Amino acid sequence: MAEAYIVSAVRTAGGRRGGKLAGWHPVDLAAATIDAAVERAGVDPAALEDVIMGCVGQTHEQGLHVGRNAVLASKLPESVPAVSIDRQCGSSQQAIQFAAQAVLSGTQDLVLASGVESMSRVPMGATGRFTPQFEAGSPKSHRLDERYPGIAFTQFKGAEMMAQKHGFEREELDEFALHSHRKAVAATQGGAFRDEVVPVEVSDGSGGTTMHTTDEGIRFDASAEALAGLKTLEPDGRITAGNASQICDGASAVLVASEAAVKAHGLRPLARIHAFTVTGGDPVIMLEEPLFATDKALERAGMSLDDIDLFEVNEAFASVPLAWLKHTGADPERLNVNGGAIALGHPLGASGTKLMATLVHALRARGKRYGLQTMCEGGGLANVMIVEAA
């Protein structure tokens, strides 16, 4: 039976909006992680057969085929092709799935899955926003409006709907957010991210440069009082900037190899891709699909929740992982053990490979076997992938 292995998994440390990574062109930032993934695997760059790059804001500096541009800005030869994909926040997790499918099918042996998002330079909404009704220039068409009349699809509304549906009050969301920061602080101080982070040169603010290696969004002084003092995004709502993921700049990459490539190139697998799936559901509540996608993925894999040692559920909003925990009954101590996007940032199209880098290295560091990663995505979609540490 064919196998697909992860032989390197890297990411940049996150940068706040307008922060340390804002000076990096996203193409160059993506190229830096491509180079690092290839170098750490120890493979000939010319051996790569494709680069699949996830990116949500594919316009302006991330337009005109960001994946190919990143390859041309990297140390890879021109002979390496690329494709840019958009499955919203799950774009680079889908990139891993496409890479695994190529390898498992036997049509390719070495494929790089990657992602990039400079939310400082290409802000959310740059590619368009839904309107409640059809308007010229809106992504909402006449037919879409007929099916969903008067609805402007929005993740912020979906997050509020999830909190209300699953019965989570503002205080519970804030408590989850506080724990995310505390776990991220502990992970950073304990060196948990050392093997996955690619250092990149940034301005030190004094005319010199320094290496960016620490996620900029972590609040080392996070407190319940500070979170409680933030305004909700909607009047009488429960979601605040403090219990939602942080706008973030970043790039990440995961190199996927066949068993034949592992042997031919003398590669050292970090993990084996065990199972994966993608599902679609309600586009209005939008962010709930990871709950049901997890059920399907476990069923298809012939596994139970007890078989999984660590979970990465993207913290787009605190209501998402909390609802996922409630639905699955999973042990919260195994969830996002090094913190999540509330503390570390959510660079949209780069988050899938970013989370996979964290999950793979966390499994190995803790001597655990199986990890499950899932991501809520615009349009009511969700990817799930199960990996086994090598």
Closest CA relative to residue 355, chosen from 2, 1, 10: 10
Q: What is the DSSP letter of 76?
A: S
* Cα Rg of the chain, angstroms: 20
From the list 55, 179, 212, 376, the catalytic residue is 376
Helices in 302-378 by DSSP H: which ranges? 319-328, 341-344, 351-366
From the list 179, 212, 346, 361, the catalytic residue is 346
For residue 129, give the amino acid letter: R
- For tokens 């960001």, the residue is 66
CA torsion sign for 188, 159, 114, 249 is: negative
- Token pair belonging to 43: 């493979």
- Residues 171 and 242: their CA atoms lie apart, in Å, by 11
Q: CB atoms < 10 A from the CB of 103, how many?
A: 25
Cα of 92 vs its chain's centroid, Å? 7
- Residues 377 and 386: their CA atoms lie apart, in Å, by 18
From the list 89, 179, 181, 248, the catalytic residue is 89
- Residues 3 and 81: their CA atoms lie apart, in Å, by 23
Catalytic site residue 376? Answer: yes
Cβ neighbours of residue 219 closer than 8 Å, sequence gap 6 or more: 181, 226, 343
Catalytic site residue 60? Answer: no
Cβ neighbours of residue 96 closer than 8 Å, sequence gap 6 or more: 113, 254, 256, 273, 276, 352, 353, 356, 385
- Residues 156 and 164: their CA atoms lie apart, in Å, by 13
For residue 290, give the amino acid letter: P
Catalytic site residue 248? Answer: no
Catalytic residues: 89, 346, 376
